[in-house]
Amino acid sequence: MTTTWLVVTDPLDLCALGRLVPGLPVDSIVIGDRALADSSARTGVRSVHWIEPVEGVPADAYAAAAADIVLGAAPGLVATTATAPASRAVVGVVAARCRASVLSGVTGVSEAGDALEVTGGAAGNAVVATWEVSGPLCAFIAPADEAPAPGVAVGLTPHPDAAPRPSRVTVSAAAVASGLADAARVVGVGRGLRSRADLAMVEALAGSLDAELACSMPLAEDLGWLPKDRFVGRSGQQVSPRLYLAVGLSGAPQHLQGVRGAKVIVAVNSDPEAAIFRAADYGIVGDLYEVVPALTAVLASD
Ligand SMILES: Cc1cc2nc3c(=O)[nH]c(=O)nc-3n(C[C@H](O)[C@H](O)[C@H](O)COP(=O)(O)OP(=O)(O)OC[C@H]3O[C@@H](n4cnc5c(N)ncnc54)[C@H](O)[C@@H]3O)c2cc1C
């Protein structure tokens, strides 16, 4: 059985790897605080190597030190979900140093003799491809949706001597610039919106609520309709407003991770089965192109 290392940014990563290759012995490396290391230790892994960043030093600065630890075990597979820059950096350093194959969008791995058989999306996920990889593999995998069931904790192996590359964060510019972090009201818009021009309609609603405008990741990352510091979620901004109004958003777990601090969530979605309604306190099942102008008109008449 190949030795597997997982670079952890979230306990959900461990859950994702368990789903990918059930039964594979996993050693993990965590660059983060004690709480993250402890929760990783309860997810059925064989070991947790723990680097605790010095205050003010970003986790990415420990990429080379973490890669040294991973490479010491000569792993056959190194995986991460790539939601944090630190995990991408560690995997990059590992891949470069041991000349590993790198594959993204990996959905399954199994052993085929001395090689690994890997499945995943290719050509923009239009096809499912199978690769045979000999030699070490660095894989980027999809995150899991649900937290792993807590298991017996393994002991942590701290690495207090792990040295960071010189680097220090002095200002968190994106959060300050977007104003989302402290906003009392936020209107979040998703792919239910049909065109960039229609953003004006949602902006009008946000304006009448005195709310900040936010969005789902695809609107900022894929479509570029709003700046990247406007998307909310696991990989984006964390918000904790008194009101989060979700418009045309499906309620993906990665998005909801960014609104856990919201006091009240109101959702507008045309699909009564949309997951956002399970997270919402109030829901309006309807076409946003009717509901949004109607809400704006009501608020304007107050
Ligand atoms: C590693 C990773 C990290 C990620 N991190 C994030 C993250 O931080 N933040 C994030 O947002 N996403 C993130 N995602 C993406 C996430 O999984 C979802 O794909 C994304 O959040 C979906 O965006 P959406 O809700 O805008 O679009 P969709 O899922 O396409 O939902 C659109 C919704 O609009 C509704 N709708 C359509 N037309 C109308 C209409 N006329 N009126 C009303 N409703 C309508 C539909 O019913 C649907 O529910 C991440 C994904 C990965 C793999």
Residue-wise pLDDT tens digits, 82-129:
666 678 888 888 889 888 888 888 888 888 888 888 888 776 667 788
CA of 155 to the centre of ligand 1 (A): 38
Ligand 1 neighbourhood includes 252 CB (under 6 angstroms): yes
* pLDDT surpassing 60 at residue 215: yes
Closest protein CA for atom 50 of ligand 1: 254
Q: What's the whole-number mean pLDDT along residues 240-265? A: 94
The confidence band for 175, taking pLDDT boundaries of 50, 70 and 90, is very low
**Which has more pLDDT, 28 or 191?**
191
Query: What is the Cα–Cα distance from 153 to 155, expressed in whole angstroms?
Result: 7
Whether 173-300 and 4-158 are alike in CATH topology: the answer is yes
Ligand 1 neighbourhood includes 32 CB (under 6 angstroms): no
Choose among 34, 47, 8, 49: nearest CA to 159.
49
Least-confidence region, from 47-61, 199-213, 258-272: 47-61
Choose among 171, 172, 180: nearest CA to 230.
180
Closest protein CA for atom 7 of ligand 1: 233
Instruction: Classify residue 76 as left (phi > 0), alpha (psi -120 to 50) or beta.
Output: alpha
Percent of the chain topping pLDDT 90: 40
Closest protein CA for atom 30 of ligand 1: 191
Ligand 1 atom nearest residue 271's Cα: 47
CA of 248 to the centre of ligand 1 (A): 8
What was the pLDDT predicted at 178? 62
Q: What does the mean pLDDT of the chain come to? A: 85
Where are the extended beta strands (E) located within the chain? 4-8, 26-31, 47-51, 77-80, 101-112, 115-122, 127-133, 137-141, 156-158, 185-189, 212-215, 243-247, 264-269, 282-285
Domain boundaries of the chain, sorted by first residue: 4-158, 173-300
CA of 183 to the centre of ligand 1 (A): 22
pTM of the model: 0.57
CA of 232 to the centre of ligand 1 (A): 11
What was the pLDDT predicted at 283? 95
Report H helices in the chain. Answer: 11-20, 34-41, 63-71, 85-98, 173-178, 199-208, 217, 253-256, 276-279, 288-300
* CATH fold for the domain made of 173-300: Rossmann fold (3.40.50)
SS3 call for 293: helix
Choose among 71, 103, 79, 75: nearest CA to 19.
79
Ligand 1 neighbourhood includes 148 CB (under 6 angstroms): no
* pLDDT surpassing 80 at residue 302: no
Closest protein CA for atom 48 of ligand 1: 250
Ligand 1 atom nearest residue 268's Cα: 43
Length of the chain, please? 302
Class of 4-158 in CATH: alpha beta
Ligand 1 neighbourhood includes 237 CB (under 6 angstroms): no
Ligand 1 atom nearest residue 235's Cα: 8
pLDDT digits over 38-82, tens only?
888 887 788 899 999 988 788 888 989 999 998 888 888 888 876
Ligand 1 neighbourhood includes 254 CB (under 6 angstroms): yes
Closest protein CA for atom 51 of ligand 1: 254
